[in-house]
Amino acid sequence: MEIKQVEAQIEAILFTMGEAVEIERIAGAVDHDEETTRKIIHNMMDRYQSEERGIHIIELDGAVQLCTKPSLYESIIKITHIPKKHVLTDVLLETLSIIAYKQPITKLQIEAIRGVKSDHAVNKLVEYNLICEMGRMDAPGRPILFGTTEEFLRCFGLQSLDSLPVMNPEKIEDFKIEAEEEAQLKLDI
Amino acid sequence: MEIKQVEAQIEAILFTMGEAVEIERIAGAVDHDEETTRKIIHNMMDRYQSEERGIHIIELDGAVQLCTKPSLYESIIKITHIPKKHVLTDVLLETLSIIAYKQPITKLQIEAIRGVKSDHAVNKLVEYNLICEMGRMDAPGRPILFGTTEEFLRCFGLQSLDSLPVMNPEKIEDFKIEAEEEAQLKLDI
Amino acid sequence: MSIPVKLEAFEGPLDLLLHLIDKNKINIYDIPIVVITEQYLEYIKQMEAKNLEIMSEFLVMAATLINIKSKMLLPVEVTEEEEEVDPRQELVERLLEYKMYKYISEELKDKQLDASKVMFKPPTIPPEIAGYKEDINVEGLLSDLTLAKLHEIFKSIVKKQADKIDPIRSKFGKIEKEEINLSAKLIQIQEYGILHKIFYFRSLLEAQNTKMEIIVTFLGILELIKIGRIKIEQENRTDDIKITYLATDIIQMEEVGF
């Protein structure tokens, strides 16, 4: 019983540390002498090995480390290759539209428009290859300027960014009127 | 035997990934359907729990993660320095509990309950990755809606939002009746 | 009444109110509003008004308490259909809700303490696997998104921003900082006074070039009235103001501790 508990302590320590830990140090943490600790660890190693477990303990020069069994390498490759579910959330769409129409734009400027921190959204859009760095702004701290990618244009069937004009204040007014007219048109139909 | 091997795969995957992995993804990696995988994992969880092990599996909103058992904390801190987590002040905790129970919720709604401006608290909670944007409310000004994150579940040892401390309507009703009885008592005297 | 607790210790008006209810050992449903209001106001008096925003929140609560107090003093009009509503009802409900969250946050605090004893392990994905870059199907990602929709989203953001702009204040021009010195202006007015003895407010203002100068001149007049160097008369409310210069010399404002 006592031994079982020491084993649990050792497992937790090795798990947390991740790297190789000297048996001497482990002995200090579990309040046993080095020899006893080593015996307990060797015992654990045997059991990890014989039982159908995903992890085992390896010994390296008086230190021990927890790691996965080599035979399970394939499953690990598989999981990293399984695509995560990607969705364009409202937050991402909002950020994308601001970048599309206001590019080149810094993260700070995006945040000023949205009123909230936008690190996560910007990072995700970069990961999705919808936006990328366009250079640096000539301002204190030389902040990164973001713009849309070729991939973005291709996905929307746009020839160039000219088909997606940058909006200036007068344009916005025009847009408003346009939008109203469009709405009217729709109603007429 | 077959199952044992799948369990070994899952243990190896969780150990390698470190972070929370969606059961759906694990299912893809071990070539089983999601339901079977979930059952296998739940089985493993029980066994980790009952056996004298140093680590166990926790569930976070449909994802699972490997971690040490809390009872072994003392042994672990003997061997390694553990970085301090964010200390949540009463203000932050109060704001966080409102968000946890009322999500999705806007800043204005939080402020209505607390009776004070809550910009600072909300920003800090976003910074600590305990809450995040959940979209916009369909109301004038389209205010941002906030909700809790996976990190929130992890930090508070919750499996899902369903395991939040209960404040169900009946309990609130009890609360009221108690209070009314107390008031009555006073009048009787 | 002694104030044992610094007001800054309270998170907000509801927190202070709960403290008072607790301190007086009274039931939330049975708030003696008069006593509590007095104590509440006493607290506010002690408050150092460093942060106007916080202060105003406490004041709003004070106003609510006084409002309830006054309602309770008035005879209750009971109409046939509606039942008599206790004016404290809404406050009690708010307090109860707030109290509930305070209670829950304590529970969460304990949970956090337990959960903080759990250790995680950083990912140890072999570099050759970690280097694998997943192909993201961008087209699939954008399948539901049209250019029109993207445009729509942007327009709603622009509109939201437009909503946020204060239509009145945003039209205020930039305030030009002009170096108009009140002491110098005071000397000017006094010189004008010695010269004219009796003069009119409007004609004095007409001699000023900018809005700022007019304001400073007005302040100067007020100051001169205060120290008794001029006398003003006005027949009717909209009439011009007649100013009589009483002194025969010019006083440097520094001399009177200005």
Q: What contacts 24+ positions apart, CB below 8 Å, involve C248-254?
A: C248/C194, C249/C194, C250/C187, C250/C190, C250/C191, C250/C194, C251/C190, C251/C227, C252/C183, C252/C187, C253/C182, C253/C183, C253/C186, C253/C187, C253/C223, C254/C183
pLDDT for the residue C2: 41
In this complex, the residue of B17, B91, B140 whose CB is nearest that of residue C11 is B91
Mean per-residue pLDDT over chain B, rounded: 85
How far apart are the CA of C92 and the nearest CA of chain B, in angstroms?
11
User: pLDDT (tens digit, 9 = 90+) per residue, A81-98?
Assistant: 776 667 788 888 889 989
pLDDT in tens, C76-95: 666 656 666 777 788 888 88
Amino acid at C31: I
Cβ–Cβ of A101/C154 closer than 8 Å?
yes
Tokens of A132: 């990328």
Partners for A (CB, 8 Å, 3+ pairs)?
Answer: B, C
**How do beta strands B55-60 and B105-106 pair?**
unpaired
Max CA separation in chain B (angstroms) = 73
Give the residue, B51 or B146, on which the prediction is more confident.
Answer: B146
Q: How far apart are CA B122 and CA B101, in angstroms?
A: 15
pLDDT value of position B174: 65
- The number of helices, as runs of H, and strands, as runs of E, in chain A is 9, 6
B chain contacts of residue A11, beta-carbon cutoff 8 Å: 53-55
Strands of C242-245's sheet in order across: C198-200, C242-245, C230-233
Residue B188 has pLDDT above 60, yes or no: no
pLDDT band at C1 (very low <50, low <70, confident <90, very high): very low
Tens digits of residue pLDDT in C194-249: 888 888 888 888 777 777 788 888 888 888 888 888 888 888 777 788 888 888 88
Closest CA to B101 of B154, B59, B163, B144: B163
CB contact under 8 A, A7 and B54: yes
pLDDT at C172: 61
d(CA C61, nearest CA chain A) in Å:
29
Tell me the HSE value of A145 on the side-chain side, using a 13 A CA sphere: 12
Contacts with C208 (C-beta within 8 Å, 6 or more apart), sequence order: C214, C217
In chain B, which residues have their Cβ closer than 8 Å to the Cβ of C14? 114-115
Instruction: Tell me what pLDDT residue A173 has.
Output: 63
Residue of C185, C245, C181, C246 whose CA lies nearest to C220: C185
- How many angstroms separate the Cα of B103 from the Cα of each of B90, C96, C187? 19, 19, 65
Per-residue pLDDT tens over the stretch B125-180: 998 999 999 888 888 777 899 999 999 999 998 988 888 887 666 666 666 666 55
Q: Residue B1: what pLDDT?
A: 47
pLDDT, tens digit, for every residue of C139-179? 777 777 777 788 888 877 777 766 665 555 555 665 555 56
- A145 forms bridges with which residues in the sheet? A106, A135
Please report, as a single letter, which amino acid is at residue C183: S
Query: Residue C5 has what pLDDT?
Result: 46
Distance (Å, whole) CA A113 – CA A95: 9
Enter the tokens of residue C83: 């039942």
All CATH 1.10.10 domain ranges of chain C, comma separated, are 136-165+179-256
Please list every residue in chain A whose beta carbon sits closer than 8 Å to the beta carbon of residue B135.
89-91
Q: What is the pLDDT of residue C210?
A: 75
Helix axes C13-23, C89-115, angle to 10 degrees: 100
User: Residue by residue, what is the 3-state secondary structure of chain C?
Assistant: CCCCCCHHHCCCHHHHHHHHHHHCCCCHHHCCHHHHHHHHHHHHHHCCCCCHHHHHHHHHHHHHHHHHHHHHHCCCCCCCCCCCCCCCHHHHHHHHHHHHHHHHHHHHHHHHHHHCCCCCCCCCCCHHHHCCCCCCCHHHHCCCCCHHHHHHHHHHHHHHHHHHCCCCHHHCCCCCCCCCCHHHHHHHHHHHHHHHCEEEHHHHHHCCCCHHHHHHHHHHHHHHHHCCCEEEECCCCCCCCEEEECCCCCCCHHHHCC
pLDDT, residue C174, reads: 57
Residue with the larger pLDDT of the pair B84 and C174: B84
State the pLDDT at residue A1: 46
- Enumerate the residues of chain B whose CB falls inside 8 A of the CB of residue A76: 12-13, 16
**Can you give the pLDDT at residue A180?**
59
- Flag whether residue A132 sits within 8 Å of chain C, measured between CB atoms: no
DSSP helix/strand/coil, A60: strand
Q: How far apart are CA A145 and CA A106, in angstroms?
A: 5
pLDDT value at residue A7: 92
Q: The pTM is what?
A: 0.66
**For chain C, which chains pass the contact test of at least 3 CB pairs under 8 Å?**
A, B
CA C166, C171, C177, C181 dihedral sign is: negative
pLDDT at B182 over 70: no
* Mean pLDDT within B108-137: 90
- CB contacts of B87 in chain C (<8 Å) are none
Instruction: Collect all residues with Cβ–Cβ distance below 8 Å to C150 and sequence separation of at least 6.
Output: A93, A96, A97, A100, A156
Using a pLDDT cut of 90, give the percent of chain B over it: 46
User: Is the CB of residue B11 less than 8 Å away from at least one CB of chain C?
Assistant: no
CA distance to A123, A179, B133, B156, C87, per residue, from B127 (Å): 15, 37, 12, 17, 41
In chain C, the residue whose alpha carbon lies closest to the alpha carbon of A91 is: C153
User: Quick check: C256 pLDDT over 70?
Assistant: no
Of C122, C141, C157, nearest to A86 by CB-CB distance is C141
Contact A138, A102 (CB under 8 A): no
**Helix, strand, or coil here: A164?**
coil
Of residues C16 and C207, the one with the higher pLDDT is: C16
Contact A121, A91 (CB under 8 A): yes
Alpha helices in B51-168 (DSSP H): 73-79, 90-102, 107-114, 119-127, 150-155
Task: For chain A, 189 residues long, give each residue's pLDDT as a single digit of tens.
Answer: 488 889 999 999 999 988 889 999 999 889 899 999 999 999 999 988 888 889 999 998 889 999 998 888 888 888 877 766 677 888 888 899 899 888 889 999 998 888 778 888 999 999 888 999 998 988 888 899 999 998 888 877 777 777 665 555 565 566 556 655 655 555 544
Average of per-residue pLDDT values in chain C: 76
Interface of B with C in 13-72 (CB under 8 A): 15-19, 58, 65-71
B76 touches C: beta carbon within 8 Å: yes
**B4: nearest CB among A52, A89, A115:** A52
**Domain formed by C136-165+179-256, architecture:** Orthogonal Bundle (1.10)
Q: Measured between CB atoms, does B108 come within 8 Å of chain C?
A: no
Cβ–Cβ under 8 Å, residues C24 and C36: yes
